[in-house]
Amino acid sequence: MSELKKAILIIGSVLLLLMGWPPSNLNYLLFIAFIPITLLCFKQEKAIYSFFYFYLFFFLFLLFGNYGLFIDGFNLKALVIGLFLIPFLWSLPILFSVIIKQKLGIGSALIAFPILYTLQELFQFHWDLSFIWYHLGFSMGNFKWASPLYPILGPFGVGFIIISINSLLSFILIRSFSLKNRLGYIATTLIILTTTPHFFKISNKEKIRKSKLEICVFSPSSKQVENVENNLRGQMDLFISTLGSGDYSNTDLIVGPEAYLSDLKNYPLFINNLDSLGPIIELKQISKQFDTPILIGAILVELIKADDFPSTTAKKRKNGEYFEIYNASLFINAENKVEWRAKEYLLPVSEFVPFNSIINASWFPSPRMDKSYKVGIKNEPYKLNNLRIASSICYEVLYKSDLNKNVDLHIVLSNDWTRQIRTINQNITYCQSIVKSTSIPILISTLNKSSVFINLNGDRTNANKIGLNVFDVSI
């Protein structure tokens, strides 16, 4: 095979994957996006060449799919590590599949490939360098075809179907079938693909709604948040003045974005004495004034008595005290008491030190990562009027596709961390897949006009203004 033909096959798969990936509505392209690269890889005699070509394919997909982040210089260290590491992991299935081809033949290899690919995605959930943003199963959240599949198969099952269709079509093209037989097999595959969801519709009955809530979402602009960064007094004033612009006493809950309350330098929010802190007392007063519970994002600090660093994420104050930082949610409940939950799934490198459990905390190199957080314990839902409200912080929502069915509403606190429209809409599409998998609606509270409610059918209700947006939430 000429180098030109190899380049065409690699670029063909890159373009198909880019055009079919959310927020695009051309999701059906994902059923053929892997065919060119699969054809190239399985024509190689040496497995290492197949690995290299698949690596290059995924590397280019990540590079061009995230070019805006690289241009902005957003979290560049983590981006560069991810750009080189993620394609390595995603290329391992093709490496082992080509080895299987050499031992057992092309048929066995193309059966093994989707299984290995899905196992690789499953593995990603269970190690410290986990990054699941590009898992295939999340990509169909906005595609009606997949709606009946999610409640039964979940994102992994949907992803397995996508890669299996690619593998089956590749097998049809690789084998020496006549044109007539190839067309027949392709037609059969398309019939199976279009009819499969109908076998699952019996289980796609809409959940009986228990109640309806009115939730007020505080969505400041990015500029407003930047103006009060590391200024807790300014953050509280903006929150109070925005709430004062209308009467929201009839709403059931007030929600604010991720990490909104944060001032580690001048006024850290210590969980050791959370109830006695001025800002928390103010939040309680606001909650009491509006007769409405409040759920808002905050960066919290825990002081720890220790003779040495108690963990790899712990840091040391000038006075010798050790402390941990949590990316958390604060909840002023109906009894006017404060609760909090910390983010359980952190972004490797940018939010925590990978493999810290095997690192001796006392000799971990300094300076320690300023923005590293301690991992939260498994969170129990908040309670609101006999309803159970699960909370997630931004990206960790993707790890909640098996959320407890007793949860009534899933609230995701975010802050549009990339400030990129493409990434924001990708996250919404992924959340649609989580809603369909769990049968639990999601409310995303974030900045600008990006807050959104996703109902049980996966339909979106978008915020229409900066400031305060009231959502009618049926659960």
217 and 199: one domain? no
Distance of alpha carbon 190 from alpha carbon 184, whole angstroms: 10
For residues 269-290, give the mean pLDDT: 93
| H/E stretch holding 38 | helix 35-42
Angle at 324 between CA 319 and CA 325, to 5 degrees: 115
Q: What is the pLDDT of residue 200?
A: 62
Q: Is the pLDDT of residue 207 over 80?
A: no
Q: What is the pLDDT of residue 368?
A: 45
Least confident range from 222-236, 242-256, 275-289, 360-374: namely 360-374
54 and 185: one domain? yes
446: three-class secondary structure by DSSP: coil
The predicted-structure confidence for 111-131, as pLDDT tens digits, reads as follows 999 999 999 999 988 887 788
The predicted-structure confidence for 338-383, as pLDDT tens digits, reads as follows 999 999 888 877 777 777 666 555 555 544 445 678 888 777 899 9
Share of the chain residues as helix, strand and coil, in percent rounded to the nearest 5: 50, 15, 35
Grade residue 8 by pLDDT with cuts at 50, 70 and 90.
very high
Distance of alpha carbon 213 from alpha carbon 405, whole angstroms: 19
357 and 429: one domain? yes
**Beta strand segments in 138-263, E:** 212-219, 253-255
50 and 198: one domain? yes
Q: Which residue has the tokens 């992924």?
A: 430
Query: Phi, psi (5° rounding) for residue 23?
Result: -85, 15
122 and 90: one domain? yes
316, 362 Cβ separation under 8 angstroms: no
Distance of alpha carbon 8 from alpha carbon 11, whole angstroms: 5
Closest by Cα among 130, 48, 139, 142 to 96: 48
Winning range, highest mean pLDDT, from 57-71, 186-200, 219-233: 219-233
Residue 152: partners with Cβ closer than 8 Å, 6 or more residues away: 200, 203
Q: What is the pLDDT of residue 299?
A: 94
380 and 346: one domain? yes
442, 454 Cβ separation under 8 angstroms: yes
Q: What is the pLDDT of residue 26?
A: 92
Domain boundary among 203, 231, 253: 203
| Bridge pairing between strands 253-255 and 212-219 | parallel
Distance of alpha carbon 148 from alpha carbon 138, whole angstroms: 14
Closest by Cα among 75, 68, 80 to 370: 75
58 or 358, which is more confident? 58
Q: What are the structure tokens assigned to 1, written together?
A: 């095979």
Distance of alpha carbon 378 from alpha carbon 168, whole angstroms: 40
Q: Is the pLDDT of residue 468 over 90?
A: yes
Q: What is the pLDDT of residue 386?
A: 87
Q: What is the pLDDT of residue 384?
A: 92
Give the chain's length: 475
Distance of alpha carbon 215 from alpha carbon 248, whole angstroms: 9
Q: What is the pLDDT of residue 370?
A: 54
Residue 200: partners with Cβ closer than 8 Å, 6 or more residues away: 148, 149, 151, 152, 153
Q: What are the structure tokens assigned to 309, written together?
A: 């660093």
**Based on the number of CB atoms within 10 Å of its own CB, is 296 exposed (0-12), middle (13-18) or buried (19 or more)?**
buried
Distance of alpha carbon 23 from alpha carbon 43, whole angstroms: 33
- Provide the domain count of the chain: 2
Q: How many helices (H) and strands (E) does the chain have?
A: 12, 14
Domain that holds residue 190: 3-203
173 and 137: one domain? yes
422, 429 Cβ separation under 8 angstroms: no
Q: What is the pLDDT of residue 204?
A: 43
Chain Cα centroid distance, residue 49: 32
218, 468 Cβ separation under 8 angstroms: yes
Q: What is the pLDDT of residue 363?
A: 54
Cis ω on the peptide bond leading into residue 367 (within 30° of 0)? yes
| Bridge pairing between strands 382-384 and 387-393 | antiparallel
91 or 421, which is more confident? 91
Domain boundary among 203, 229, 260: 203
Instruction: Give pTM, 2 decimals.
Output: 0.89
CATH number for position 283? 3.60.110.10
Task: Report which DSSP code applies to 463.
Answer: -
Provide the percentage of residues in the chain whose pLDDT is more than 90: 58
463 and 329: one domain? yes
Domain boundary among 144, 177, 203: 203
158 and 72: one domain? yes
| Bridge pairing between strands 322-332 and 294-304 | antiparallel
Q: What is the pLDDT of residue 451?
A: 95
Distance of alpha carbon 439 from alpha carbon 427, whole angstroms: 18
Q: Which residue has the tokens 């590491």?
A: 85
Least confident range from 98-107, 202-211, 271-280, 344-353: namely 202-211
198 and 324: one domain? no
| pLDDT, the chain, mean | 87
93 and 184: one domain? yes
Q: Is the pLDDT of residue 418 over 90?
A: no
23 and 112: one domain? yes
